[in-house]
């Protein structure tokens, strides 16, 4: 958990914020702290964000905003622009179940259409994994997502990478992985998301290119 001032030291207003925080460097959490309230006012720093649940783009201006109709089972959660977020698809209750869920990547570009992220992958159970782990790096330059790193974790028990979602896209585009065009695509003009799904691949060195 990081205070906002660690991520936005140039914005003096973040120094006095007590209830909001970052979960890691990219997820902005703005909880409702008043009992029985379904409305919350929170600070949005001067940068690009995406709603975690809908991927709607939010252009922060370094000011407070108010959200109404916040249900009791959720809270405002935003991805800071410039992040690649690896997520599991589905639900599980144990580490063994969790590692059998497929991954999907959320590409959330910043104002210059760039993003980066990191994933450490291991069995989630062993206290000493030795060299049986993968350090995976993601870098997006506006056109190509490059996946690189070390891949020492045996993904035989994993269902692998199933989906990649590009947020902040103004038009429908093709997607190719290592030169092979992806057939399963979905473009949502309202959310401005472009999704490649049904990929069925493990994490490895690869280039994912928008056409």
Both 74 and 105 in a single domain?
no
Beta-bridge partner residues of 121: 134
- Return the pLDDT at 126: 86
CA atoms within 13 A on the CB side of 125: 7
Domain count, the chain: 2
Measured between alpha carbons, how far is residue 57 from residues 61, 108, 190, 197 in Å?
13, 9, 11, 21
Under the banding of pLDDT at 50, 70 and 90, the label for residue 152 is: very high
Both 107 and 205 in a single domain?
yes
Class of residue 43 by CB neighbours under 10 A (exposed 0-12, middle 13-18, buried 19+) = buried
Which among 59, 80, 101 is the end of a domain? 80
Both 111 and 49 in a single domain?
no
Give the CATH number for residue 97: 2.60.40.1180
- Return the pLDDT at 157: 65
User: Taking the model in full, what pTM does it have?
Assistant: 0.92
Average pLDDT, the chain: 93
Which among 35, 60, 80 is the end of a domain? 80
Both 65 and 96 in a single domain?
no
Both 88 and 23 in a single domain?
no
Both 95 and 17 in a single domain?
no
How far is residue 87's CA from residue 104's CA, in Å, rounded to a whole number? 5
CA atoms within 13 A on the CB side of 184: 9
Both 35 and 95 in a single domain?
no
Both 108 and 198 in a single domain?
yes
| pLDDT over 90, % of the chain | 77
Return the residue matching tokens 């249900």: 71
Both 108 and 129 in a single domain?
yes
Which among 62, 80, 98 is the end of a domain? 80
Full residue range of the structural domain in which residue 34 is found: 4-80
Q: Which residues of 133-145 are buried (b: 16+ CB within 10 A; e: fewer)?
A: bbebebebeeeeb
10 has a pLDDT exceeding 70? yes
pLDDT (mean) for 8-19: 94
Both 149 and 204 in a single domain?
yes
Measured between alpha carbons, how far is residue 73 from residues 52, 179, 207 in Å?
15, 42, 38
Report the helix count and the strand count for the chain, using DSSP H and E.
2, 18
User: 74 and 53 in contact (C-beta within 8 Å)?
Assistant: yes
Phi-psi domain of 82 (left: phi exceeds 0; alpha: psi -120 through 50; beta: other) = left
Under the banding of pLDDT at 50, 70 and 90, the label for residue 123 is: confident
Both 91 and 187 in a single domain?
yes
Both 195 and 206 in a single domain?
yes
């Amino acid at each position: 958990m990081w205070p906002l001032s660690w991520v936005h030291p140039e914005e003096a207003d973040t120094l006095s914020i007590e209830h909001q925080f970052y979960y890691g460097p990219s997820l902005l959490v703005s909880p409702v702290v008043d009992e029985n309230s379904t409305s919350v006012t929170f600070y949005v720093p001067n940068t690009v964000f995406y709603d975690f649940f809908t991927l709607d783009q939010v252009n922060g201006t370094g000011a407070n905003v108010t959200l109404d109709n916040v249900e009791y089972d959720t809270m405002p959660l935003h991805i800071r622009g410039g992040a690649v977020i690896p997520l599991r698809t589905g639900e599980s209750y144990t580490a063994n179940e969790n590692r059998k869920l497929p991954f999907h990547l959320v590409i959330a570009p910043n104002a210059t259409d760039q993003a980066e992220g990191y994933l450490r992958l291991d069995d989630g159970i062993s206290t000493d994994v030795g060299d049986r782990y993968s350090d995976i790096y993601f870098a997006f330059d506006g056109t190509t997502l490059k996946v690189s790193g070390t891949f020492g974790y045996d993904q035989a028990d994993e269902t692998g990478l199933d989906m990649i979602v590009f947020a902040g896209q103004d038009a429908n585009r093709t997607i190719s992985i290592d030169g092979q065009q992806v057939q399963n695509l979905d473009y949502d003009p309202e959310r401005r998301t472009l999704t490649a799904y049904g990929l069925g691949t493990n994490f490895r060195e690869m280039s994912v290119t928008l056409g």
